[in-house]
Structure 1
Amino acid sequence: MESGVGYGVQGADIHVFGDGVPVYLLANRRPPPVSDAKFLRELPSRMLNAHFQVVDFTGRQDELAQLREWRDNESRLAVRWLHGPGGQGKTRLADQLAAECAALGWKAVTALHGPGLVWPSPSLQEDLRLTDAAGVLLIVDYADQWPLSHLTWLFSNALLYHTIPTRILLLARSANAWTSLRATLVNNQVDTTTTELNPLPDGPAGRLEMFTAARKAFAARYGLQDVTHLAPPTPLADPEMGLTLTVHMAALVAVDASAQGCRPPRTPEGLTLYLLDREQLHWARLYGDGTHELTPGQRTFRTPPDSMERGVFTAALTGALPRARAVHVLDSLHLAPGGEQVAADHAHCYPPLTPSPPNEPEHLSALEPLYPDRLAEDFLALTLPGHHADYSAQPWASATAQELLTRVEDGFAAPWTSRAIGFLAAAASPGRWPHVADLLNRILLNDPALAVAAGSAALVSLAEVPELDPQVLQDIQLCFPIGPYPELAPGRVAVTRKTTCHLLARTSDPAEQAALHTELAVSAGEAGWNEEALAANEKAIRIRRRLALEHSAQLPSLSRSLSRQSIFLSGLGRFHDALTASEQAVQIQRRLEEIRTGDECDLAYALSQHSNVLGELGRLEEALAALEEAVEIQSRHVETRDDRRSYATALGNLGKALRKLDRFRQSVEASLAAFMIRKALYEENAADSLPGLADSANSLGIQMLQLRWFDKAVFFGEAAVYFYRQLVHASRDMYEPDLANSLTNLGLILAEADRDDEALAHAEESVELNRSLASANRAAYELQLADALSNLGLRLSLQERMDEAVAATWEAVQIHQRLASDNWDAFGERYAMSLSNLGYQLAKVGERQEALDVSNEAVLHYRKLSETNSAFTSELARTLLSYAGIRLYLHEEEGAALQAAAESFTLYSKLTAKLPEAFAAHLPVTLSAVADALSVLGRETEEGQIRQCIENADFAAAANILAAW
């Protein structure tokens, strides 16, 4: 409930922003309204609005068959991106599928983007319960205009996660945003496809069938009986008649012209002009004809045609607005006879598609735009000066558009900026109205940041406008925020790609060409488009290799490009190729060191990236060696604040690497050194030092836990979460992943400190955050999600919520298994860990054989890992103990349980000799498992000996007893 407005659903989630505005609204698919024929004839364009469905679905049978096949496939959850130009018939095709699904017992639902939406009646309560539903179909129109994060929130809705088949159909004008979205969806549970809705066939047969059906439907609204003599006013074979909309326009104009007793135009452009002339005529009649008035002598429609034209122009740019805001906008334009009257008269001509009840005036909307969208785009273009069509442009049009697009509310761009720039860019797209680019050039040269505020879909459209000034795109590029912003990714790459092509054609300087390719690579890389990033970066590398043969001064740039190449290759899972690139980068830096022209810090950067790749390949000792050298270099460069920050970062990474190798004391030493530097930096300037301090606290919490220093672990773990919550408040996109990770770690720490309820709460919050992050960027965050799920499974099992525990851990196993199948060295240990956890939980829920199989597989994997890397010895010991416990719990092969428990004790004894504070506590636990196994086997004398050793804490004697067996 916000300001008296409530929106409710049954059987689905509601996601809202902090200010109470819903991210999206879900509604059951409703049949088209029954429309009065007189109302439709008043403005013929109303009959082209897909909302009214005046024309029965005709044509597109092949595309409909493909959608049926997609609906009926075996996938439980499938997502399809259906794209094509405006007017192609996407909305009508989707609704036909929805109608068929509803007839088959499916729940058909539509999603509307919340921000900028005029809210429905506060009494709205959607029943989305799936009682007896055969499946779920969710349709999202204008999907390319949704920010990526908003779509991912939608995809996390509980409505979509039942056992019945679920289909999500996304409608868009282009496929540009699909690449980023698909990366968030491709996993074992989601089937993703994309389909382009092609133009209608060139041959006249299919188009003629569509024209005939539309002509019949329109004629019925005019009361005309025989219209078979009305031929298409424009040849249907014309390339411009390849849209469903233009064929329908031809049929509508033919029928309306016949009813008006005039000749229809003969060109596609003429069809648009004819329909817009009918709009103008309607405004003039309402203003000049008093017969429509409700009270004689009192005029109710008092807006002159020129003001109405400007109001319709404004509505095309802003879209529907809450009535109060619409009146404010109209008043600011000084329209006669005032904003209130113009809004009322505009609503008479263009009533809201979903009007609010009469007793709820505060929820009325105004400025419903002209439909369909393509006609509104044409109207904008024809009203603007600069075209040669037979339609009167208006001198106020450019100024009105500029006024609306320079409006700033509380320091932000107006809420209609995305729509306005998107519609203008669509009107200026290739083959349409090139003069609109003149207006865009003026607006964006003055304020290029407006394009960034408009969002990714508008940026993509702008990049496709042939007449847009290249300087505009360059200026826009300078306005992009620093760092990766997934919401802007498709648009940013589109703009950078266009400017790169333009600037490459204007320069013959190889160094500048390499820099341009690099900029595109970085942009694509930050968007997660590693293939395009790799291709651009390879071009930069080829140029820089040639330059480096002639000038050694080019070697540092080549090294940085190679380090960057290793990042892109790693992102594509090509770790061995990434290793080759990172090795070459290091070799170049060492060569520069030999000839004393290198920058030591560049060598440290190359070594750090090389260490990352080695770590991905499981070569932990080599990764540590590279990182230790990088730290040693950084330690010699601590003169400036930035130097100290870099040194602290290197020390922090070193601490993490040492922890992976079970070198806990050294790990803590490195991390504490990093923490102290960062603490001093924070005391000097808190604003730019909190992220580093939070990172150190997060690392130290886990490291203290492994040394069983519980109080210190809790202190640092809670500090990390506190710091990251502050950072998320300032920048959610940048720091939410770190908050999720710190919550997972704190959950582990609190559990060991016997604070189980708090541990569970933090684990649940971590999974929720990580799931959202992984849905937005699967490649970057699904490992973190799997780790959080595994932790949640443990916390739930300690609360005896075993079914929930199994579900969480099983999901973690699936993710870890897929990652390990692609790169065992990097992810095999994670897979083994989640298997070990799952085995215990399956045993508790009675899945006897599966529990035995899973736990045995976990032991085999850890044994294999420990044979090649002693760092996994402790995990092998832990897994053997779990394996023994499962067999004892299930009364299955107690002899194997005894052997596993004894081996676990032996391994922990060796680890304790090296690091007692970390491993000594495990000795009595493992010995107790040995004693339990002996008891079950009836070996009472030996059991008594072992229990005496436990009581006396004489673990050396216990080791001798076990060795004697």
Structure 2
Amino acid sequence: MSSWVRVSGAFMVGAVAMGVAVAAITDDKPLLTVVGAVVGGVVSTFAPDLLDRMREKAAATEALGAAAELTPEGSGPAMLLHASRGVVPFEGRERELEELLAWCRNSEAGRLRLLTGPGGVGKSRLALELARRLGPGWGYLEVRDDGEADALARWRAVEQRQVLMVVDYAETRTGLSQLLHEVAGDEGRRVRVLLLARSAGEWWQQLGGESARVRQMVAKAGPGIELAEQVRAGKPDRNLVAEAVPYFAAALGVEPPETFWVELGEGPHRILDLHAAALVVVLRSQRRSGTVSVSVGHVLEELLGHERRYWLQTAKARRFLRGPFGLSVRVVEQTVAAGTLLGARDRDQAVEVAGRVPDSVASGVVADWLRELYPPREGEDDGEWLGRLQPDRLAELHVTRQLAGSAELLQACLGDLDERQARRALVMLARAAQQLEGAGEILQRLLPEVASEVGSIPAPRETLIALYEALPYPSLLLAEAHALLARRILDSAPPDAGSGERARWLSSLGIHLTALGRPADALSVTEEAVTLRRKLAAAYPDRYRPHLANSLLNLGEALSELGRLADALPVTEEAVTILRELAETYPDRYSLDLAASLANLGVRLSELGRSADALPVEQEAVTILRELAEAYPDHYSPELARSLTNLGNRLLELSRPADALPVTEEAATILRELAEAYPDRYRPDLTSSLNNLGVTLSELSRLADALPVQQEVVTLRRQLAEAYPDRYRPELARSLYNLGVTLAALGRPADALPVEQEAVTILRQLAEAYPDRYRPELARYLLNLGVTLSELGRLTDALPVAEEAVTVLRELAEAYPDRYRPDLARSLYNLGVTLAALGRPADALPVEQEAVTIRRQLVEAYPDRYRPGLARSLYNLGVYFSELGRPADALPVEQEAVTILRELAEAYPDRYRPDLADSLYNLGETLSELGRPAEAADMSQEAEQIRANLDGC
């Protein structure tokens, strides 16, 4: 039984970063406003005062137009999908409509509501239907971007009746708080503000941290209404497509096809995609006879094709495509993309935008053609001179594809932008990055350059904040961009900025620096955020205690990343205490934050070797998140998966792999689905979950099942580490380590060796930079590398590796005995085996004696966990005594080893009977040397009987 011992299953997922959400995601719906009629001509015979009042009324109505989003114009077939066109009658959403109608009609209800959902689910159409059902007693105003500050005042200058104000793309609105201040002060007249957004992220939390009036509005609004993709329960998507086809045919002035086939795939689908499929059915039926077949998954592609034909037909009519200097098809496509991305404030700028396209010319004729393709919104004289391709998802697809396909166009479109163009372009790409990975790659590559230019233009801070809140989070591609923007926003704060504002951006910057693998840089800014928020929470507890809790969680994460585990625990515990109190008072608002803090606390306890204390904490987090995920699966499933991953870790640490397996499998299943849909966002979580699944299968001796899982993890993490070395090289090293352990356990040490050597190389570099954080892992990696070298017969190479592992772990065990003594005992055991194999039993003896001493102490505290290790050390100690000619000293330790192994073999015969047979054989040899042949024969006979039974099996 004298063999080297590996450390297996030791490296699983660390903290789950759920402390602070810093994401704000925008919708892709177009903007629309219904406003009162503009006063027409004035008869000169009216009295002067009446004439003046009418002129004032006309001026006020015109001014209102500057604060309102108006109906877009355009001739392309895709415009029929715009919510304002209402081509297809409104369908479903009865529950949401009833809730919103009750809110508007209840005079005691709050003035603010939030409507969220992914792009294309019908938020804008629902808002319009709400206005229609409210009836003529209500006005409707969709607030234009940059029109928030005085939108209500302009409305009141024209109308005194009650009004529904809709703010689309609420996440990107820098003037939103100003609008709500105005609404809060509009006493006596009913005002309702409906915000449309893709999700309630950091922007929504920060809105709740504004003045007392605004804070009360946000608190009364509650969590908001989240639109699911399915429009009407029980109604198949196929029926929704079929019912829409005749309406689009009527809008185009053609006959609907008699027969058609729509391939849906798995659903439900977003209503925009279903209506796009219906429109494509009608368009395709005009070009071919027979049954039309359409795939929902490709409708945007085909719709884009119809728009492309529209561009080329109009360009051909203007003779743009003729002659040696005519525009190519590629230039036409890129010109539309440039105009859609950047827009233009006047004709001169439209000419400049057209001239950005490679091989094109800065031509007024081309600019006029762009305006005819997609005119600006009606009445928008002081805003955009150019309109844009609609719907937004179609525009995002076209722009992303053209920019990704041409480096020249990319550079031309994102350089030398003014403030308006920069914001429009960057926010559009940020929206596109939610579903188009190419858009995220464009932002990652070019945002630093563009942000630098944005920082030099007038009023850069508001632009930067709007962009920051529009970027998806978490995102690998945009991690550097988030940190850069947070730093620029922090540095651009005015001298009179409040401490709450500074704390917000300090905290955000710390989060992103930690995510980038720069905890040392994150620590100072996070500590400053905690200091500021602690003072604010003391003065205004209701407003700032939640923010303080989030900053404390972030501080705990940074301290943990720096290896300061004892310092990380109390700040995390303080955060949990705060959030538990908040969740008891406001469960709907703070349950998720409490679960996040519990998850982090579980990790902190585990890092300190207190897995038994961590387990109930992780279980509580899973319970909370499971309830939330059952109610809102699309929203909370990711957090549930991360928490399940952590719970599986704790069960593994407590030697309960059978209990850990279903938990870890559930986490992996959830995250695989999420990563397929959103690879940039969820691939890291998936790799962590798969890594833990591989460890769990290994612990259950299912090595053949574990191997492909661990190989997949290494492949995924190698890709991540190549793109983001600071963040993912440690994770790559851990997955290499686990793969090496499995290969060695499968009897493949030659395959394990290069894997383990690569892991050690990475950890050596990390330990030099962050010794407190990575030296423990380096020691364990060295321990296993030494074992592999020994198994391959390379003992002289194995010895210095084993000695280095002992040196490192001895220092760690002196500082943290509870955590590192087990690893020190393993390293001593392996060093003893290596010395003995090199023919140096005298050197091996004191090393093994120290291992026995440590393991005796461990067995007293945790007998179930450490008795097998003690038995191995006793066995080897007896061997070394015998080799040194000291059978009398060998006897008692070998007898103790046999006693322990008898008990273990009774409980786990398959696992421990071979070790018992070896130990009995050695004990028999020692008894024979001491002149006790009868007893020696009994031991030998029992050993032979066990071996015979094993062979028979």
Tell me which residue corresponds to 1:29: none
The alignment partner of 2:793 has SS state of coil
Tell me, yes or no, if the aligned pair for 2:354 and 2:362 is still in contact at 8 Å. Answer: no
Cα deviation code 1:176-223 (max 9, x no counterpart): xxxxxxxxxxxxxxxxxxxxxxxxxxxxxxxxxxxxxxxxxxxxxxxx
Q: 2:546 aligns with which of 601, 623, 627?
A: 601
User: How far apart, CA to CA, are the structure 1 residues paired with 2:708 and 2:606?
Assistant: 26
With over 3 angstroms needed to count, the CA separation of the structure-2 counterparts of 1:742 and 1:887, relative to structure 1, is farther
Q: 2:432 aligns with which of 467, 480, 497?
A: 480
* 1:445 corresponds to 2:388: yes
Equivalent pair of 1:894/1:936 in contact (CA under 8 Å): yes
- Give how far 1:855 is off: 1.1
For residues 806-817 of structure 1, the aligned pairs below 5 Å read 806-817=753-764
Contact 1:381-1:427 within 8 A present in 2 as well: no
Residue equivalent to 1:491:
443
Equivalent in the alignment of 1:668: 615
Query: Is the deviation greater in 497-506 or in 939-948?
Result: 497-506
Q: Is the 1:428–1:465 Cα contact (8 Å) retained in structure 2?
A: no
Matched, 1:887 2:835: yes
Q: Is the Cα contact below 8 Å between 1:385 and 1:393 reproduced in 2?
A: no
Provide the secondary structure at the position in 2 that maps to 1:547: coil
Q: What does 1:716-731 align with in structure 2 at a 5 Å threshold?
A: 716-731=663-678
Alpha-carbon offset, residue 790 of structure 1: 0.7
Q: Provide the residue aligned with 1:106 in structure 2.
A: none
Q: Deviations over 1:722-774 (max 9, x none)?
A: 33333334433333322322222222222222222222232222222222333
Distance between the aligned counterparts of 1:463 and 1:720, measured in 2? 40
The counterpart of 1:463, out of the listed 393, 399, 414, is: 414
Q: Residue 745 of structure 2 is aligned with which of 798, 818, 843? A: 798
Kept in 2: contact 1:383–1:397 (CA 8 A): no
Q: Against the structure 1 CA distance between its residues 455 and 712, is the aligned structure 2 distance closer, same or farther, given a 3 Å change threshold?
A: farther
Amino acid at match of 2:557: N
Instruction: Report what 2:563 is aligned to.
Output: 618
Matched, 1:587 2:537: no
> Which AA in structure 1 matches 2:388?
L
Structure 1 residue matching 2:493: 3-state secondary structure: helix
Aligned residue identity for 1:464:
G
Give the 3-state SS of the residue equivalent to 2:496 in structure 1: helix
1:434 paired residue among 362, 377, 380: 362
Picking from 781, 784, 799, the partner of 1:852 is 799
How far 1:857 moved relative to its partner? 0.9
After TM superposition, give the deviation of residue 788 of structure 1 in Å. Answer: 0.9
Q: Which amino acid aligns with 2:808?
A: H
CA contact (8 A) 2:749 2:792 kept: yes
Q: Offset of 1:621 from its aligned partner?
A: 0.9
CA-CA distance at 1:427 after TM superposition: 6.8
Is the 1:630–1:650 Cα contact (8 Å) retained in structure 2? yes
1:752-801 CA-to-partner distances (Å, cap 9, x unmatched) read: 22222222232222222222333343333222111111111111111221
Listed one character per residue, the Cα deviations across residues 263-310 of structure 1 (whole Å, up to 9, x for unaligned) are xxxxxxxxxxxxxxxxxxxxxxxxxxxxxxxxxxxxxxxxxxxxxxxx
CA contact (8 A) 1:648 1:673 kept: yes
* Aligned residues of 1:838 and 1:854 also touching (Cα < 8 A): yes
Q: 1:495: how far off? A: 6.0
Which letter does structure 2 place at the counterpart of 1:878? R
- What amino acid does structure 2 have at the position aligned with 1:428? R
Q: Is the 8 A contact 1:656 1:699 kept in 2?
A: yes
* CA positional deviation for 1:579: 1.6
Contact 1:740 1:766 in 2 (8 A): yes
Rate the CA distance shift 1:651–1:896 in 2: closer, same or farther, 3 A: farther
- Distance, in Å, in 2 between the alignment partners of 1:742 and 1:627 is 23
Q: Deviations over 1:660-700 (max 9, x none)?
A: 11101111111111112122223333333322332233222
Cα separation, 1, equivalents of 2:888 and 2:537: 69
Structure-2 residue corresponding to 1:749: 696
Tell me, yes or no, if structure 1 residue 695 matches structure 2 residue 656: no
Partner of 2:490: 541
Task: Report the count of equivalent residues.
Answer: 560
Q: In the alignment, which residue of structure 1 is the partner of 2:12?
A: none
Q: Decide whether aligned partners of structure 1 residues 950 and 855 sit closer, same or farther in structure 2, where only a CA change above 3 A counts.
A: same
The answer to whether 1:872 aligns with 2:817 is: no
Counterpart code for 1:884:
G
For residues 484 and 859 of structure 1, the distance between their equivalents in structure 2, rounded to whole angstroms, comes to 50
Tell which deviates more after alignment, 474-483 or 784-793.
474-483
Aligned ranges 1:292-311 → 2 under 5 Å: none
* Cα separation, partners in 2 of 1:619 and 1:397, compared to 1, 3 Å: closer
1:875 shift after superposition = 2.1
Q: Percent identity?
A: 25
In 2, Cα distance between equivalents of 1:380 and 1:851: 75
> TM-score, structure 1 length as denominator?
0.51
Distance apart, 1:835 and its partner CA: 1.2
Contact 2:479–2:515 (Cα < 8 Å) also in 1? no
Question: Please, which runs of 5 or more residues in structure 2 have no aligned partner?
Answer: 1-279, 289-311, 342-351, 375-386, 903-953
1:648-671 CA-partner distances (Å, limit 9, x unpaired): 121112111211111011111111
Structure 2 equivalent of residue 907 of structure 1: 854
| Structure 2 counterpart of 1:215 | none
CA distance in 1, matches of 2:894, 2:828: 20
SS of the residue corresponding to residue 464 of structure 1 reads coil
Whole-angstrom CA distance in 1 between matches of 2:753 and 2:315: 62
Moved more, 869-878 or 788-797: 869-878
Spell out, residue by residue over 1:599-645, the C-alpha distance to the aligned partner (whole angstroms, 9 max, x if none): 21211111111111111211101111111111111112223445212
Give per-residue Cα distances to partners, 1:528-561, cap 9 Å, x unaligned: 674x76565444223437233xxxxx32221121
Provide the C-alpha distance between the structure 1 equivalents of 2:416 and 2:494, rounded to a whole number of angstroms: 35
Determine helix, strand or coil for the equivalent of 1:689: helix
Read off the aligned partner of 1:621 and give its amino acid letter: A
Q: Map Cα deviations across residues 701-733 of structure 1 (whole Å, 9 max, x no partner).
A: 232222222321233233333333333344333
Q: CA deviation at 1:493?
A: 6.1
Paired letter, 2:539: I
Change (3 A) 1:446 1:901: same
Q: What is the CA–CA distance in structure 1 between the aligned matches of 2:482 and 2:633, rounded to whole Å? A: 35
Q: Distance in 1 between matches of 2:318 and 2:895?
A: 98
Partner SS state of residue 857, structure 1: helix
Give 1:564 shift.
Answer: 2.8
The question of whether the paired residues in 2 share the 8 Å contact of 1:935 and 1:943 is answered with yes
Change (3 A) 1:928 1:563: farther
Judged with a 3 Å threshold, the aligned counterparts in structure 2 of structure 1 residues 576 and 727 are, in CA distance, closer, same or farther, namely closer
**Cα shift readout 1:891-945 (whole Å, capped 9, x = no counterpart):** 3432333333332333233334444454444322332232333333332222220
CA contact 1:783–1:816 (8 Å) conserved in 2: yes
Distance 1:609 1:486 in 2: 31
Distance in 1 (CA, whole Å) between partners of 2:881 and 2:630 is 59
Classify the secondary structure of the residue corresponding to 1:637. Answer: helix
Q: Would the aligned equivalents of 1:518 and 1:540 in 2 still touch at CA under 8 Å?
A: no
In structure 2, the residue matched to 1:297 is none
* Cα distance change on mapping 1:869 and 1:427 into 2, 3 Å: farther
Q: Which residue of 1 aligns with 2:662?
A: 715
Name the structure, 1 or 2, with higher relative contact order (CA <8 Å, separation 6+).
Answer: 2
Q: Give the partner amino acid of 2:832.
A: A
Comparing 436-445 with 789-798, greater Cα deviation is found at: 436-445
Kindly indicate whether the alpha-carbon contact (under 8 Å) linking 1:437 and 1:465 is maintained by their aligned counterparts in 2.
no
User: Per the alignment, do residues 455 and 643 of structure 1 end up closer, same or farther by CA in structure 2, a change over 3 Å counting?
Assistant: farther
Return the TM-score normalized by structure 2.
0.52
Q: For the aligned residues, what is the CA RMSD?
A: 4.5
Contact 2:579–2:590 under 8 Å retained in 1: yes
Q: Give the letter for the 1:934 counterpart.
A: F
The question of whether the paired residues in 2 share the 8 Å contact of 1:384 and 1:397 is answered with no
Q: Which residue of 2 aligns with 1:563?
A: 507
